[in-house]
Amino acid sequence: MELYPLLRLVHILGAAVLFGSGAAIAFFMLMAWRSGERAAFALVARHVVLADWVFTASAVILQPVSGLALAHLAGWPLTAPWLLASVGLYLFIGACWLPVVWIQMRVKRRLAETDGPDIPADVHHLMRIWFALGWPAFAALTAIVWLMITKPVG
């Protein structure tokens, strides 16, 4: 198999992992939080933190590496507007994702430290921030995939 199609496959699969793991992690974390059951939420938070490191972090590293390699092999200038927009959006997503990961780890730790059926008030506060950061990051990821597919000129 030639290198370009292989790299393209890796890049597309990486995007799918980012979308899929991001959506699944968000769904399960949100549903566990909304359940109001501290023990269930603690279990989900523990698994979500692991999944974010295993799947999302791996894809976060893979995407720019495969993307730069694809740009090089295809002869696209790194100053192409669609590539610059993609990089800017990717950095924006990272600025949202890093606090989200910190919040998930903090929520996991707080839920493990507490007893009783109730979710602590500070965890609810953290989760509202987590929720607010997720929407723009997901919209930006959607925009990057659109740029990847269409490669608009100008």
pTM: 0.91
pLDDT at 22: 94
Q: How far apart are CA 100 and CA 91, in angstroms?
A: 14
Q: How far apart are CA 46 and CA 102, in angstroms?
A: 13
Task: Say if residues 90 and 144 touch (Cβ distance below 8 Å).
Answer: yes
Query: At residue 103, does pLDDT exceed 90?
Result: yes
pLDDT at 93: 97
Query: At residue 154, does pLDDT exceed 90?
Result: no
Residues 114-132 have pLDDT tens digits of: 988 999 999 999 999 999 9
* Average pLDDT over every residue of 120-145: 97
In a domain, 62, yes or no: yes
Q: How far apart are CA 104 and CA 22, in angstroms?
A: 13
Number of domains in the chain: 1
In a domain, 83, yes or no: yes
In a domain, 81, yes or no: yes
Rounded to 10 deg, the angle between the 38-51 and 3-35 helix axes is 170
Query: At residue 153, does pLDDT exceed 90?
Result: no
Domain that holds residue 119: 3-149
In a domain, 154, yes or no: no
For residue 1, the SS3 value is coil
Residues 10-64 have pLDDT tens digits of: 999 999 999 999 999 999 999 999 999 999 999 999 999 999 999 999 999 999 9
Residues 56-80 have pLDDT tens digits of: 999 999 999 999 999 999 999 999 9
Q: What is the 3-state secondary structure (H, E, C) of 54-111?
A: HHHHHHHHHHHHHHHHHHHHHCCCCCCHHHHHHHHHHHHHHHHHHHHHHHHHHHHHHH
* Average pLDDT over every residue of 124-152: 96
Query: At residue 1, does pLDDT exceed 70?
Result: no
* Average pLDDT over every residue of 88-111: 97
Instruction: Give, as one character, the DSSP assignment of residue 118.
Output: S
Q: How far apart are CA 60 and CA 83, in angstroms?
A: 16
In a domain, 42, yes or no: yes
